[in-house]
Amino acid sequence: MTGPPDDETRDRIDDELPDGEPPEDAPDGATGDPVPVADGGFADESAEPHEPRIAFYGGKWASTVPIVFFIFWAIVQSGVLGIGDTNGLVIGALVGTILGMFLVRGDWKAYADTIFEGMTQRVAATAIVAWLWAGMFAETLQVGGFVGGLIFAADALNVGATTFPAAAFVLCGLLATGIGTGYGATVAFVTLFFPAGVLLGANPVLLFAAILSGAVFGDNLAPVSDTTIVSAVTQDADIGGVVASRFKYAILAAVPAFAAYLIMGSVLSGASLEGAAALRESATAPGLVHLISMGVVIATAVAGRHIVEAVSWGLIVAVAFNLAFGLSSVADILVFTTTSPTPAAALPFVRVGETAGVGGSLYSGAIGFFPLIVLTLLIVAMAQIMIRGGGFEAILEFLLDSVATTVRRAELTMVLGTAAINGMITINTAAEIAIAPYIARLGEKFNINGYRRANILDANTSALGYIFPWAGGVLVGYQVMVGPDGLGEQYGPEMVVNPIEVVPYVFHGWFLVIVFLLAAITGFGREYIPDRISEEVSRA
C-alpha cells in the first residue's frame, strides 16, 4: 500500500530532471552495491519500501512542506488565536498543498496525481464511513433522550462531577473496545456523555480528554480495530496473540490514567451553564432504553459483523425505540420542511416552515462531519505527497542512522518514529500503514518478535491519534461541539472545548507512550523471534 511498484509515472518524472541526472537524494541502493555489514548493520538499503517519485527543489525534506505548513497553521489558528474552526483548517491544508507544488522539480502533474492518489486511499474512506454512521446513530440517541437518561442514572448512582471523567474514560474505553472504532466511540460519547457530564458539573476539558483516552484504549486493544488489524498483519503476527500480548501495556497505562482522572476531576472546576439545574431536574429515565441500542452495536460488532452493519442495526433499534416509546417524533429523526402548504404536509416527516430544508437527527448527525471529511481528504493527500517525495523516508532514515545502533535504541527509535509520524499524519491508520514496513525491517534487524513490533506500532499510533489538536480523534469530537445543531448551539459556548486545551489531559495516550519508552529502556515485555512463533495470521 505504501510502496507501489515502479510505474511509468516514476520513469517519466525521473527522466525529466535537469540534465538527465537522478534526483539528488536518490536512495543509496540505487547508486552503489549494498555493503555487507557484520552483525546485521543497515548498509543494504536497496529493499527500502519507499522510493521518491516526485523530486523537489531542496530534496526529500521539501516534500514535508505541505503537511508542516498545515501543522503550523493549525497551531497558530487553534493554539495562538484560539480559533477551532475546522473550515479554517481546510483552508490551511489547501494553501499548504498549493505551496508545496511550487517546490516540485519538473512536471507538476505528478504532484497533482499524488493528491488524487492520497485522497482515494481506503483508510480515509474507512474513517469517513465511521464518522457518518456514528454521527447518525449518536444524534438519534440524543433526540431520544439518552443524555437525560444518563444524567438521571448518574444522579441515581451518585456519579458526581468529580468522578464523571473517570467513569467516561472507562465506559468509552469499553465501547471503543467493543465496536473497534475509537472515532465512532468519540462521536457517540461527545454527543451523549459529554453534555451529560458538563451539565452535572464536570470540567469540559478534562471530560473531553477522558473520552479521547477511552478511544485510545479501545483503538489500541480492540481485536476488530483497524489499527490492531494493521499492526498484526504487517508484522506477521496473529491478531489474538497480539491483543493478548498488548494487554499488559494497556493496563499499565490505563490504571494510572483512571487515577489521574479521579484526582484531576476533583481539582478542576466545572463550567457554569445557564439552565443546567433545570435540565438536571427534568432528566428522566426512559432515555436509558438506548443502552440497549448501544448494546446492539457492541454485540453485533463483537460477533464479527462489519462496523457499518453493526451501527446500522443499532440505528434501526434506536429509531424503533424512539417511535415505540414516544421518545421522539418522526420529524425529530427526519423532516422535510417546505415553505408552501402541500398535501404532503400530512405526512409525519413533512412540515411547512419559513425556510425550506431537510433536518432531523439523521441529517444533522451526518452533515456535521462534512468539513472534517474534506479536511481528512486533504490531509491524506499531503501525507501521500510526503511519502512520494521521500520526506517520510528521510525522517525515518535520520532516525535509523543516528540512533538505532543497539536493540534498546532500535526500540526507542520505533517508539519515537511511530509517535512522530502519527503526530504529523492526522488519520492514525494511514500513518500506521505508512510506517509499518520500517518498523518490520528495523525490528527484524534485531530479531524483535512480531508481537512486540505490533505492540510498539499500534500503541503509539493509537495514542498520538487522539492528542494533538489536528489529530483526527480530537477533530471529530470537536466537530460534534461546533457543527450545525452541535453542542455549542444546543447548550451554549461552555459546551465547546478548544482542542489545544485537551493536549495535556489525554492521560491514557501520554501514559501509553511513556510505558513504551520505559519498556524499550528496561526490556519490559521484550520478546525475540526465537522466543515464540506467531500463529497463523488471520483477521480474528
Partner 1 sequence: MSRFEKFLAGWSLRSSTPDYEPGDVIEVMVTGAEGDRAIARIGDSTLRIEGAPGDAADTRIRVAVETWDETAHRGTGTYRETVGESAF
Query: Which residues of this protein are in contact with partner 1, per CB under 8 A?
Result: 36-41, 44, 47, 49, 234-236, 240-241, 244-245, 247-248, 406-408, 436-437, 440-441, 444-448, 450-452, 522-530, 532-533
C-alpha to C-alpha distance for 14 and 20, rounded to whole angstroms? 8
Least Å distance, CB 21 to partner 1, is 29
Least Å distance, CB 144 to partner 1, is 39
| Amino acid residing at 74 | A
Least Å distance, CB 533 to partner 1, is 6
Least Å distance, CB 429 to partner 1, is 18
Least Å distance, CB 237 to partner 1, is 9
Q: What are phi and psi of 407, to 5 degrees?
A: -65, -35
DSSP assignment letter at 104: B
Measured from the CB atom, is 105 or 408 closer to partner 1?
408
Cell of 97: 498543498
* Residue 120 CB coordination number (10 Å): 13
Measured from the CB atom, is 22 or 240 closer to partner 1?
240
Least Å distance, CB 449 to partner 1, is 9
Nearest to 512 by CA among 239, 217, 210, 262: 217
Q: CA 242: distance to chain centroid?
A: 20
Measured from the CB atom, is 81 or 521 closer to partner 1?
521
Measured from the CB atom, is 1 or 153 closer to partner 1?
1
For residue 259, give every residue at least 6 positions away whose Cβ sits within 8 Å of its Cβ, in sequence order, or none.
Answer: none
Least Å distance, CB 82 to partner 1, is 43
User: SS3 of 123, please?
Assistant: helix
Measured from the CB atom, is 314 or 437 closer to partner 1?
437
Measured from the CB atom, is 350 or 537 closer to partner 1?
537
Measured from the CB atom, is 3 or 326 closer to partner 1?
3
The secondary element (H helix, E strand) that includes residue 352 is: strand 350-352
Cell of 33: 552495491
Least Å distance, CB 517 to partner 1, is 15
Angle at which helix 472-482 crosses helix 86-101, to 10 degrees, equals 140
**Which long-range contacts does 257-260 make (Cβ < 8 Å, 24+ apart)?**
257/169, 257/213, 257/507, 257/508, 257/511, 258/166, 258/169, 258/170, 260/507, 260/511
Measured from the CB atom, is 451 or 478 closer to partner 1?
451
First-to-last C-alpha distance (Å) of the chain: 21
Measured from the CB atom, is 342 or 402 closer to partner 1?
402
C-alpha to C-alpha distance for 162 and 200, rounded to whole angstroms? 9
Measured from the CB atom, is 97 or 449 closer to partner 1?
449
- Note the helical H segments in 180-225: 182-200, 204-221
- Note the helical H segments in 268-353: 276-282, 290-302, 307-324, 330-333
Assess contact for 193 and 185: CB atoms under 8 A: no
Least Å distance, CB 397 to partner 1, is 16
| Exposed e or buried b per residue across 125-136, where buried means at least 16 C-beta atoms within 10 angstroms of its C-beta | ebbbbbbbbbbb
Cell of 89: 483548517
Least Å distance, CB 423 to partner 1, is 23
Measured from the CB atom, is 113 or 444 closer to partner 1?
444
Least Å distance, CB 49 to partner 1, is 6
C-alpha to C-alpha distance for 297 and 319, rounded to whole angstroms? 14
